Amino acid sequence: MFKKHLDFEALRNLNSNSMGDHLGIEFVELGEDYVIARMPVDHRTTQPFGILHGGASVALAETLGSIASVLTLDDPTTQRAVGLEINANHVRPVSAGNWVFAKATPLHIGRTTHLWDIKITTEEQKLVCVVRFTVAIINAR
């Protein structure tokens, strides 16, 4: 399903100087129909009480889902993947000093919209957040 026009180095470069880079998001695995990234739970991603901020979870999910959509495009120089709608259910807190992992899998890949199921877990595979993310595919200007 994914086009192989981006490798891990290209993903890192695409993520540089962006919110994902600022939050420490790293891509760790690229499968046939899924992509996995991780994010540290640290001073950049926690709320004042030392646990993962829900907004950081949403930023992780949107970063991952957007990149996953780019990986399905025939020509990413003529099209863009942009967030259209996101819904997140936060299940459990994660303390600073840990990592969270997000896995994006497609629910629908259409011509103009993509729908991603994104699950964020702890290193021990405990569910942290469930996200549904809709991406619009638009023409690049």
- Residue boundaries of the structural domains of the chain: 8-139
Task: Copy the structure tokens of residue 136.
Answer: 């619009």
Mean pLDDT across the stretch 16-25?
91
Tell me what pLDDT residue 109 has.
97
pLDDT tens-digit map of 53-106: 999 999 999 999 999 999 999 888 899 999 999 999 999 999 999 999 999 999
What pTM, to 2 d.p., does this model score?
Answer: 0.94
Q: Determine contact, residues 33/1, Cβ cutoff 8 Å.
A: yes
| Marked catalytic residue, from 26, 29, 32, 62 | 62
Q: Which of 39, 128, 114 is nearest to 83 (CA)?
A: 114
Active site residue 62: yes
Q: How far apart are CA 52 and CA 98, in angstroms?
A: 9
- Which of the listed CATH numbers 3.30.750.210, 3.10.129.10, 3.40.640.10, 3.40.1080.20 matches domain 8-139? 3.10.129.10
